[in-house]
Structure 1
């Protein structure tokens, strides 16, 4: 039986930017942990908030819902939010749900 990928978050602060590296599986089981980690970062209006999903193996509808809630909160605060290094399988889910244009940098700069 396959063991689930361990969920991990790592935050890196650069000048004017906060990057959150998400790895493993972002699903219902870890939703509370993800929300708690993101809550203070969402309020940082003076810097860009970016999620790096390079090492994310799986995301379910709960995880996508968290991304959408972060996107809405950042938009309400007029603070930039992007998602970068999206693996192809996860990008396909984002494309199917229609959120890709709202979370990718090239579309926010237009």
Structure 2
């Protein structure tokens, strides 16, 4: 199985919002692909940047590190960043690593700065 079979990203831009749909496995093998998509989106501070994780099956520490990098970069630019449709097994991992409070999970309250 090559990386394109196990990991996919799709970006959808609407008025005031950019949503990135991630599916498969986000790990070290596909980290550069994830970063190359996310880096230009971090700069779009006039839009809400949302990651939809509904079809994410697995994330490792490298993937979590990318999420934290995006969160920090958006916070530094006063840009909005949310995560939505987090599968239960991924949410459990976010809880165990302590990043859940820093992710605005589609709710009205802002996430804490990291």
Residue 61 of structure 1 is matched in structure 2 by: 61
Alignment of 1:1-110 (within 5 A): 6-103=6-103, 104-106=105-107, 107-108=109-110
In terms of mean alpha carbon deviation, does 96-105 or 6-15 score higher?
A: 96-105
Q: 1:70 to 1:13 in 2, by over 3 A?
A: same
Secondary structure (helix, strand or coil) at the match of 1:78 reads coil
Q: Distance in 2 between matches of 1:31 and 1:81?
A: 19
Q: Distance in 1 between matches of 2:101 and 2:18?
A: 21
Q: Which runs of 5+ in 2 are unaligned?
A: none
1:105 to partner: Cα distance: 3.1
Secondary structure (helix, strand or coil) at the match of 2:6 reads coil
Q: Distance in 2 between matches of 1:109 and 1:22?
A: 21
Q: 1:80 to 1:98 in 2, by over 3 A?
A: same
**Normalized against structure 1, the TM-score is what?**
0.92
1:86 to partner: Cα distance: 0.2
**Normalized against structure 2, the TM-score is what?**
0.89
**CA RMSD in angstroms, aligned pairs only:** 1.7
1:109 to partner: Cα distance: 7.1
